[in-house]
């Protein structure tokens, strides 16, 4: 079975597939770019996306048989520890002039789209942050993230930015890394990232059902994901 899956699922996917009885070959990447590859005819039985929009687009175009949500995520802020000051929170860091802010790429990667929604929810302050933010990962021409590295870790430690906005599911691992600090973004500012799979061929239905199972949900929860939410 051929699967195309959002890059943010890479770290949990091996654990999930260890409990699925059929062999699965998986390629990871930004969900928006993966959808384009499916639309261009790349073989795929199941598409696991970090956004409902991309599987629904395939369904509307007659390229998918069904769309099933299976998890959710949120955003968090990771900063180089030396720029953090006592009393700082996510808002003060994003709005501090002089700090370089890195994000994923809107359109190509849902993480970038959710980040743009975050800026919108910040009101007028968010418009200034939006202008300063740089999309450094998740795009067609973005430099590849080195194997074994998380995007926030690589961007911040390489000196390309002081602040990175990414998925909260990486937060626990990032908190264990020297020199980095992770800050939560509270509701109602933090958009909910809903994950869903598009069933492209009938043979992929058992995998889609498995992703919604109690066993898979427990694995996803342990990896920092939450249950699907209809926010």
- pLDDT by residue for the chain (231 residues), tens only, comes to 999 999 999 999 999 999 999 999 999 999 999 999 999 999 999 999 999 999 999 999 999 999 999 999 999 999 999 999 999 999 999 999 999 999 999 999 999 999 999 999 999 999 999 999 999 999 999 999 999 999 999 999 999 999 999 999 999 999 999 999 999 999 999 999 999 999 999 999 999 999 999 999 999 999 999 988 665
List, in order, residues 6 or more apart from 189 with CB less than 8 Å away.
118, 121, 122
Q: Are residues 87 and 154 in the same domain?
A: yes
CATH code, domain carrying 87: 3.40.190.10
The verdict on residue 67 lying in a domain is yes
Do 151 and 128 share a structural domain?
A: yes
- The structural domain count of the chain equals 2
Dihedrals phi, psi of 101, to nearest 5 degrees? -110, 125
Task: Return the SS3 of 79.
Answer: strand
Domain encompassing residue 30 = 2-72+193-222
The verdict on 46 and 142 lying in the same domain is no
Same domain, 166 and 87: yes
Please indicate, yes or no, if residue 153 is contained in any of the structural domains. yes
One DSSP character per residue, 107-138 reads TT-HHHHHHHHHHHHTTHHHHHHHHH-EEEES
Asked, for residue 227, whether it belongs to a domain, the answer is no
Are 82 and 140 members of one domain?
Answer: yes
Asked if 217 and 180 sit in the same domain, the reply is no
Euclidean distance between CA atoms 140 and 29, whole angstroms: 10
Q: Is residue 230 part of a domain?
A: no
pLDDT of residue 229: 66
pTM of the model: 0.95
Strands, E assignment, 33-162: 46-49, 66-73, 75-80, 101-104, 134-137
Give a yes or no: residue 229 inside a domain: no
3-state secondary structure of 75: strand
Let me know if residue 97 belongs to a domain: yes
Closest CA to 110 of 171, 194, 189, 36: 194
My answer on whether 37 and 95 are in the same domain is no
Distance CA 52, CA 57 (A): 9
Same domain, 119 and 88: yes
Residue 231: inside a domain, yes or no?
no
Residues 172 and 94 in one domain: yes
Residues 101, 179, single domain; the answer is yes
Same-domain check for residues 91 and 54: no
Q: Helix 110-121 crosses helix 124-132 at what angle (to 10 degrees)? A: 140
Do 82 and 171 lie in a common domain? Answer: yes
């Amino acid at each position: 079975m051929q699967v195309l899956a959002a890059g943010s699922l890479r770290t949990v996917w091996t654990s999930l597939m260890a409990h699925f009885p059929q062999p699965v070959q998986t390629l990871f990447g930004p969900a928006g770019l993966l959808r384009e590859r499916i639309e261009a005819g790349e073989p795929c039985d199941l598409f696991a996306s970090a956004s409902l929009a991309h599987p629904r687009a395939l369904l509307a175009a007659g390229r998918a048989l069904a769309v099933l949500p299976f998890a959710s995520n949120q955003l968090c802020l990771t900063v180089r520890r030396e720029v953090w000051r006592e009393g700082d929170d996510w808002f003060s860091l994003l709005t501090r002039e002089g700090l370089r802010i890195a994000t994923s790429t809107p359109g190509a990667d849902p993480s970038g789209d959710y980040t743009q929604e975050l800026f919108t929810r910040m009101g007028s302050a968010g418009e200034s942050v939006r202008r300063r933010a740089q999309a450094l990962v998740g795009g067609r021409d973005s430099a590849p993230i080195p194997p074994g590295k998380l995007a926030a870790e690589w961007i911040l430690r390489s000196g390309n930015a002081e602040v990175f906005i990414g998925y909260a599911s990486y937060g626990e691992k990032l908190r264990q890394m020297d020199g980095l600090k992770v800050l939560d973004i509270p509701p109602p500012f933090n958009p909910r990232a809903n994950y869903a799979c598009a069933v492209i061929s009938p043979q992929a239905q058992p995998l889609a059902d498995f992703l919604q199972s109690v066993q898979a949900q427990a694995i996803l929860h342990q990896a920092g994901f939450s249950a699907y939410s209809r926010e």
